[in-house]
Amino acid sequence: MSTPGGLGLKSSEHSGALDPLDLRRAFGRFGTGVTVITTRSPTGARLGVTANSFNTVSLQPPIVLWSLSDKSPSLAAFRSSGRFVVNVLALDQLELSHRFARPAADKFAGLACTEGLGGLPILKGCVATIECTIVNSQEVGDHVLFLGQVERYAHEQAAPLLLCNGQYLQGVGLAPGAGSGSLPAACAS
Ligand SMILES: Cc1cc2nc3c(=O)[nH]c(=O)nc-3n(C[C@H](O)[C@H](O)[C@H](O)COP(=O)(O)O)c2cc1C
């Protein structure tokens, strides 16, 4: 079926359940950054997962969100620590995206880290680190949604690692002549 906008329309209305693989491709059209979200378990183990579900919610108060699969072995630790750090990966940290997306006994082996609030691990060389206290969590479908209040943050003017259409990317500005590549003043950083 085609929409007036020319896109092939897929609806649960006529065909029953939506195709999860195709839906994932549709979600993937929305470009994001890539983060590693870290915490510490009750026994003191350092834990981290690659996540691109991170997003910002509110500036005042400063609230961010991300979601973790309800199958993740790290879920209990995020819940019990009550805090997380969002490590926003730089372009040269692709290896960390791969490393933290695979189960391993110690994903931090050999990595340069510092300790943040509550002793949580902060990865070195990221474009931003955002330290949060969990203010709400909720099971939503097959994920758990975490809302965190920002307690401390740091950021660098450096190229971030991006993800879109199932591919890692580097950001480039719009070509000259493609219109103003700048945000309106009210949105600009
Ligand atoms: C680029 C990228 C983004 C990801 N985003 C998420 C996410 O937002 N939430 C999630 O639960 N898993 C996400 N994953 C998958 C987890 O990183 C992966 O399942 C990892 O093994 C989870 O760590 P754990 O097994 O220690 O829980 C992502 C993977 C990649 C490569």
Structural domain contains residue 161: yes
Question: Which of 55, 69, 93, 145 for mutating ligand 1's site (highest number of atoms within 8 Å of CB)?
Answer: 69
Mean pLDDT value of segment 150-172: 97
Contact between 20 and 151 under an 8 Å Cβ cutoff? The reply is no
One-character DSSP codes across 114-156: EE-GGG-EEETT-SEEEEEEEEEEEEETTEEEEEEEEEEEEE-
φ/ψ of residue 72, rounded to 5: -65, 130
Structural domain contains residue 103: no
Q: How confident is the model at residue 188 (pLDDT cuts 50, 70, 90)?
A: low
Question: Which of 49, 87, 139 for mutating ligand 1's site (highest number of atoms within 8 Å of CB)?
Answer: 49
Which residues does ligand 1 sit against, CB inside 6 Å? 34, 49-53, 66-69, 72-74, 97, 101-103, 163
How many domains are contained in the chain?
Answer: 1
Q: How confident is the model at residue 11 (pLDDT cuts 50, 70, 90)?
A: confident
Answer yes or no: is pLDDT of 181 > 90: no
Structure-token match 């590693």, residue found: 36
Query: Domain residues for 54?
Result: 30-92+126-166
Residue 15: the pLDDT is: 62
Structure-token match 């099971």, residue found: 139
Domain harbouring 79, CATH code: 2.30.110.10
How remote is the CA of residue 51 from the centroid of ligand 1, in Å?
5
Structural domain contains residue 188: no
Q: Tokens representing 37?
A: 């979200």
Tell the residue nearest (CA) to atom 25 of ligand 1.
Answer: 103
**How far are the Cα atoms of 20, 34, 145 from residue 27, in angstroms, in the given order?**
10, 15, 17
Structural domain contains residue 46: yes
How remote is the CA of residue 107 from the centroid of ligand 1, in Å?
13
Structural domain contains residue 160: yes
Residue 164: the pLDDT is: 98
* Stated pTM of the model: 0.93
Residue 12: the pLDDT is: 78
Question: Which of 50, 64, 70 for mutating ligand 1's site (highest number of atoms within 8 Å of CB)?
Answer: 50
Q: How confident is the model at residue 178 (pLDDT cuts 50, 70, 90)?
A: confident
